[in-house]
Amino acid sequence: MPQPTLQIGDLPRVNEISLVLARNGFGHLLDRVGLTAPPAAAQAEVPSGSFARRLRLVLVELGPTFVKLGQVLALRPDILPQDVLAEFETLHDRVPAMDVDDVRALVEQEIGAAVATVFQHIDPEPLGAASIAQVHRAVLLDGTEVAVKIQRRGIERRIRGDIHILYALAQLIEGRLAVPGLMTPSAIVREFDVAISRELDFTEEARNAEHMGRVLAGLHGVKVPRVYPERSTRRMLVLQRIHGRPLREVLPTLDREQASTLAHTIMEATWRQTFESGLFHGDPHPGNLFVDEDGQLVYLDFGLVGQLTRGMQDTLVEVFTSMVFRDAEALAMAVYRAGAANGRIDMRAFVAELERKMVQYHGASLDQLASPTTFVDVVQLCTRFQIALPPEYAILSRAITLVEGEVRALMPDVDIVAEVKPYAQRLVQRRLEPDRVAQDLTRLALQAQGALRDVPTQFTQFLMDLEAGRITVVTRDPDAKAMREEIRAAVLRLSLAFLASTVTLGSLLLLAAWSPAPYEVPVFGLGAVLALGLGLGLFGALGLHVFFAGFLDLSAWRRRFMTLLRFFSWRRT
């Protein structure tokens, strides 16, 4: 696909971004990527605070697209360090609500008819207003209470314009600024582009909600709002209205038994999502979890939902059981197989770090831990050891951490490992069930059959390529380069010795035949003296090369010269 480039129409927005960055103390980064901060930024007072706090202020000041970028990145511990994650978790949309007339106009535009043909009433006061959409109470013609989520006018066009600029800026940053994690700036923007595209399409959120409803159906104490797909569109979502309060508001009112019941309900729902269906809520923070009037747990907001393949689920089973039963080596191998290592890793050091994390959590109650970051710690440890995990694992680790925080608030004095051990035992039992073992053996047999069936064809192709001379065998000796350097140095020394000897002997012969030349000028004698000086100089060079070969390495000096040349070339640009 063609690389996005900045257009003339983008310049005002780029100027605004540069001004905000410089005003918050990031002017030096603009110089590094070839942008110039506006003069007004030089007179502004840089706010105090950490790097992470100032970065959050930048996102807030730049508006909805950048706030959403921060919210999406807050779910990716494989990209951002912990202090930035903590700051980005506090990002909230603070925008004024749309006027009720605009809401009615947008609803009519989506349904293609008057509001009265579908709704008895739409409450003018929104339940919540965010940068992308806002939610209103409404009543259908049959008297059903619903919640209507309507997208703001023009928000998609604005976000698309900002993403175009982000792609262009990411290309400027690459190679000039070091970014945390294992992803390039362009890859980060692509991840955000995919995430925000899904969030802007409410039909996908409706499908996610319906799927999650089927996953959690029949689980006691859990509810998912019903979706009205016949009333929903790409920019409008109609859901069942459930009366309740956010989990964060309910927590102080619960007694010990109610809190324990709710905590185990959350753990059971998370277990079913992760290990049974593979579909999990990607952002289960306390604001997206409600408790209804009957004390049931209600899941809301399905804009971010993760999907795990069968192989990913098997890996998670190994990871989960290894952590619970404190097997650091098994955990390290499971994580290593799940990811892609950038080069060779120090497996012994990796296992030691995992063991240290396990010691921290085993036997400790949740209120004794500094923060609920069990799985996030593992993901960030992988990043440190240059193991790139699929993004689903990073999102799941953040979701599990949020769940862990909620369980921590509900049961602060409970040993979390002891609480989740029964779930690990259930997973082990499931893996060893005869039906599951038979399925695994059948799958392996089919894979082996396919591989064996292809062997004759592949062998025939190999023989044909060998006969046609299309196969080249290349051998690599790790010591070959050093041997070549030694041979090159030996040849150079022999050449210097031969040349020095020849010139010196020739000069001595000329000195021996010293005789006045025409016009009484000793031409041969002077030539002999010069040749003798050259010969002695060559002998000196030979001695220097023998005793200071490392310092006089021509390839090293050539690399130093090219580095210096590139440095001054970059400074001029």
Q: Are residues 358 and 319 in the same domain?
A: yes
Q: Are residues 398 and 452 in the same domain?
A: no
Q: Are residues 314 and 450 in the same domain?
A: no
Residue 343: what residue type?
Answer: G
Q: How far apart are CA 120 and CA 138, in angstroms?
A: 8
Per the structure, the count of domains in the chain is 4
Domain assignment present for 222 = no
Q: How far apart are CA 16 and CA 29, in angstroms?
A: 15
Domain assignment present for 554 = yes
Domain hosting 456: range is 441-465
Q: Which residues of 110-124 are buried (b: 16+ CB within 10 A; e: fewer)?
A: bbeeebeebbeebee
Q: Which residues pair with 146 in a beta bridge?
A: 138, 240
Last residue of a domain, one of 194, 218, 239: 194
Q: Are residues 390 and 509 in the same domain?
A: no
Tokens encoding 312:
């990913």
Domain assignment present for 216 = no
φ, ψ of residue 50 to 5 degrees: the values are -70, 170
In the numeric block, the tokens 């509810």 are attached to 223
Q: What is the pLDDT of residue 370?
A: 43
Domain assignment present for 57 = yes
Q: What is the pLDDT of residue 176?
A: 73
Q: Are residues 405 and 512 in the same domain?
A: no
Domain assignment present for 445 = yes
Q: Give the residue among 493, 508, 503, 505 at the shortest CA–CA distance from 535.
A: 503
Q: Are residues 358 and 398 in the same domain?
A: yes
Residues 279-299 have pLDDT tens digits of: 999 888 888 899 998 889 999
pLDDT, averaged in runs of 10, over the chain (573 residues): 66 85 81 68 65 88 88 82 84 79 92 92 89 92 93 90 89 75 81 88 93 92 93 94 89 88 91 88 87 91 87 83 81 83 80 81 52 68 83 83 82 73 74 68 72 77 79 72 72 70 69 57 64 71 62 60 61 48
Tokens encoding 438:
């038979």
Q: What is the pLDDT of residue 76?
A: 82
Q: Are residues 405 and 546 in the same domain?
A: no
Q: Are residues 427 and 445 in the same domain?
A: no
Domain assignment present for 77 = yes
Q: What is the pLDDT of residue 557?
A: 61
A 10 A CB-CB count for 26 gives 19
CA of residue 179 relative to chain centroid, distance: 11
Q: Are residues 320 and 448 in the same domain?
A: no
Q: How far apart are CA 69 and CA 79, in angstroms?
A: 12
For the purposes of burial, counting CB atoms within 10 Å of the CB of 257, is it exposed (0-12), middle (13-18) or buried (19 or more)? exposed
Q: Are residues 451 and 520 in the same domain?
A: no
Beta-strand pair 279-281/289-292 = unpaired
Domain assignment present for 3 = no
CB 159 within 8 A of CB 243: no
> Which residues, in sequence order, are CB contacts of 331 under 8 Å at separation 6+?
318, 319, 322, 323, 354, 358, 378
Q: Are residues 458 and 504 in the same domain?
A: no
Q: What is the pLDDT of residue 571?
A: 47
Q: Are residues 450 and 521 in the same domain?
A: no
